[in-house]
Amino acid sequence: MSTMTYKGYSARVAFDAEDDLFVGHIAGIQDPVGFHADTVAGLKAAFHEAVDDYVETCAKAGKSPQKPYSGNVMVRIDPDVHRRAAIAAEVAGKSLNQWAEEVLGQAAG
């Protein structure tokens, strides 16, 4: 499984060996938007077209397209994990937000 990004939207991509196709879906939105192609270049073009069509379709329907994430995350964690994370951030010379963004970014790839 790989990802692609265009205009702030990301897509999950997989290869369907049975049909010899690359298949993708826009991630992070509730509307189901998929695309496919049999080459990498075709897949990129199909993804761009899917994003552009999604935004255009939403505009025609008078609704706002779902945007990629805002960057605000609220998580509830065990107080001991919170303490250890705060200490790790301080030792690294960073705020807890900076440290968490770095750690989450590394974990998310």
Q: What percent of the chain has pLDDT over 90?
A: 77
Closest CA to 28 of 74, 77, 75, 65: 65
Residue 2 in this model has a pLDDT that exceeds 70: no
Q: What is the mean pLDDT of the chain?
A: 91
CA 60/CA 49 separation, integer angstroms: 16
Kindly state the average pLDDT of the residues 53-78: 88
The pTM is what?
A: 0.64
pLDDT tens across 16-39, in order?
999 999 999 999 888 899 999 999
pLDDT tens across 3-12, in order?
789 998 999 9
